[in-house]
Structure 1
């Protein structure tokens, strides 16, 4: 089984954790789309602008792959809160095309 797709997604997470945002963006297709519980972003540069401000840290708990799709179950440290989440990465031609993230947003809304 070729884990190249998983490697792309894991490398992206590593770059985010290291705050190497330029290299992280190089893992994304320029037309990358993010869909999350609290919003949607169109374009790699738009998404990365948000990530530079938020500086989330990721702890991958489990990885699942199916063809060009990689799904992580991870803890995302969002600063004041760490949220258990799932991220679905679709990878094509060595770049992440789409990312969909699901989590229970209630801990973030209860401030």
Structure 2
């Protein structure tokens, strides 16, 4: 059974890894972001899915997303971020569920309304 100190350590480590991952994407530091993603990372979102850290990072390089984190929730190796997501001059509210294993992002599931990104004009 984990003690309180062990749980706090796991929570803190997972949160710091996810925040560093998102910060690297925001800074267009895709080399660092890739180092924080596992080789077998999975991504599931409203517009599709990706398998592998390389595939995910390649998509992020093209999309030029920016995250403004509003809140982070942590439960062991699970980290949930609530954020404003900006792409192509449009901003929407979204949520990401990150799972960290062995010090790297292993999976990410995102939820947001994609219509503002898909609609033409404003």
Q: What's the TM-score once normalised by structure 1's chain length?
A: 0.96
TM-fit CA distance, 1:45: 0.4
Matched, 1:49 2:58: yes
Equivalent in the alignment of 1:110: 119
* Aligned partner of 1:16 among 19, 25, 34: 25
More helix by proportion, 1 or 2? 2
2:50 and 2:28 mapped to 1: Cα distance?
A: 20
The residue aligned with 1:81 is 90
Looking at structure 1, the residues matched to 119 and 56 of structure 2 have their Cα atoms a distance apart, in angstroms, of 25
Could you list the runs of 5+ residues in structure 2 that have no partner in the other structure?
A: 1-7
Gaps of 5+ in 1: none
Post-superposition CA distance 1:89-108 (Å, at most 9, x none): 00011010000000011222
After superposition, what is the alpha-carbon deviation per residue over 1:23-65, rounded to whole angstroms, capped at 9, x for unaligned? 1000000000000000000011011111111111111000001
Equivalent residue in structure 1 for 2:101, among 92, 96, 104: 92
Question: Which consecutive aligned stretches of 4+ in structure 1 deviate over 3 angstroms post-superposition?
Answer: none
**Given the two structures, how large is their TM-score scaled by the length of structure 2?**
0.88
